[in-house]
Amino acid sequence: MPYKLLKFGFGREFNESRYFEDVQTPKKTYDVVIIGGGGHGLAAAYYLAKEHGITNVAVLERGYIGGGNTGRNTTIVRSNYLTPEGVKFYDASVKLFEGLSEELDLNMFYSTRGHFTLAHTDSSMRTMRWRAEVNKHVGVDSRVVGRDEIAKACPQMDLDCSGHAAIKGALYHNPGSVARHDAVAWGYARGAANLGVDIIQMTEVQDIDVRNGKVHGVQTSKGYISTGKVLSAVAGFTPRITKMVDIKTPITIHPLQACVTEPMKPWLDTIIVSGSLHVYVSQSSRGELVMGSSLDPYELHSTRSSFDFVEGLTSHIVDMFPFLSNVKVVRQWAGMADLTPDFAPIMGKTEIEGFYLDAGWGTWGFKATPISGKTMAATIANDKAHDLIHSFRLSRFEDYELTGEKGAASVGH
């Protein structure tokens, strides 16, 4: 439990101060400029200051911090991926998440629920076994379970899914968790600001000044800032930033939608994901069901939401939980997912000196927030890719060395 909360609870005065100073005007020059005040950008700023003593850093955010995908996701944190490099990377992130409330002295509402990935066909059972073995090999708690164990953990579910997609088993991942996404952004922002980082909201990067293959500065809506190092951590905006520096990537942008129901008494303790039915669901601490589905079917750089999404999602949810047919959906929204062909991120150095990329987070990047911040900070400080992210480098596409993560992440979460 964060000590500050305890002290606050016993105190007599409740004058909570601002999270961080609201810097309006950027300085003329910084050692590092981070584009994007989402979880990833803010975490990178925090670890740059904390672990590498680099504090002359600005985080520039075109809107408000955490207003991008960080504040729009369904907050599932897990590490039961398919490739050893993926499992190791996300496992390091889960470990950081477990200690994050203490580290940032802010309650992350990190709640370990257990995570079931349902298999409705023999071929998905095969993938679950494969994932379980890779996970165990790397030391991650993950195993294949039968219908009886699913029924015990979630007696409300119709295991035959109305008869047309009977569940055969599942991959069960005990460390699977949910967290409070806003707190992750605010906690890293405050931590970074306390160490001297400037967090400047309502400030858009409009161009990047590259001369002879080297970064010299950024043009922003609040004027020119000179810097030798720029980190782009803008998720769904990545193609607009890479266009400024003329770097090609395989990223495509598709909307990803989510919704919540009206609150109800707690009944769903675990996180349930079904790739075949394109749904995932957990119950928030407020009692709402937080639900998501697969990506929108075509490229679009927009956060509009659609009726097709709710219609499709709820029809599958009712297959699994017929008793929910009278429950109302009260809110829906979308984020812009930055997808890669191999469902792994793109992280590290680029062909431009001083331009670093943290992108390709698609439907899976919230869980990576702490570890991406830590590894990108190390990469920027040492101008050399951190060991954990070597296989996520942009040049893997030209080298035809793609990762094979597709089997574990294409469903989202």
Which residues neighbour 364 within 8 Å (Cβ) at sequence distance 6 or greater? Answer: 343, 409, 412, 413
Which residues contact other proteins by CB under 8 A?
239-240, 242-243, 248-253, 297-302, 304, 308, 341, 397-398, 400
Q: Is 407 near ligand FAD (CB under 6 A)?
A: no
Contact 273, 313 (CB under 8 A): no
The sign of the CA dihedral 402, 404, 406, 409 is negative
Q: Which of residues 72-91 bind ligand FAD (CB under 6 A)?
A: 72-76
Q: Is 239 near ligand FAD (CB under 6 A)?
A: no
CA distance 377 to 50: 10
Number of residues this chain uses to bind ligand FAD (CB under 6 A): 40
Of 228, 232, 234, 231, the closest CA to residue 209 belongs to 228
Q: Which does 335 bind (CB under 5 to 8 A by kind): ligand FAD, other proteins, none?
A: ligand FAD
Q: Which does 391 bind (CB under 5 to 8 A by kind): ligand FAD, other proteins, none?
A: none
CA distance 337 to 69: 8
The sign of the CA dihedral 321, 326, 327, 329 is positive
Of 141 and 204, nearer to ligand FAD (C-beta) is 204
Per-residue interface string for the shown chain with ligand FAD, residues 95-134, x marking contact by CB under 6 A? ----------------------------------------
Q: Which does 299 bind (CB under 5 to 8 A by kind): other proteins, ligand FAD, none?
A: other proteins
CA distance 89 to 411: 19
DSSP assigned state of 16: P
Longest dimension (CA), the chain: 65
Among 26, 39, 187, 239, binds ligand FAD (CB under 6 A): 39
Choices 17-25, 168-176, 231-239, 402-410; region in contact with ligand FAD by CB under 6 A: 231-239
Bridge partners, residue 199, by sequence: 59
Q: Is 26 near ligand FAD (CB under 6 A)?
A: no
- Can you say how many angstroms the Cα of residue 116 is from the centroid of all Cα atoms in its chain? 19
Q: Which does 364 bind (CB under 5 to 8 A by kind): other proteins, ligand FAD, none?
A: ligand FAD
Which residues neighbour 101 within 8 Å (Cβ) at sequence distance 6 or greater? Answer: 1, 2, 107, 108, 110
Question: Which residues of this protein are in contact with ligand FAD, per CB under 6 A?
Answer: 35-41, 60-63, 67-70, 72-76, 204-205, 233-237, 256-258, 292, 335, 337, 361, 363-367, 413
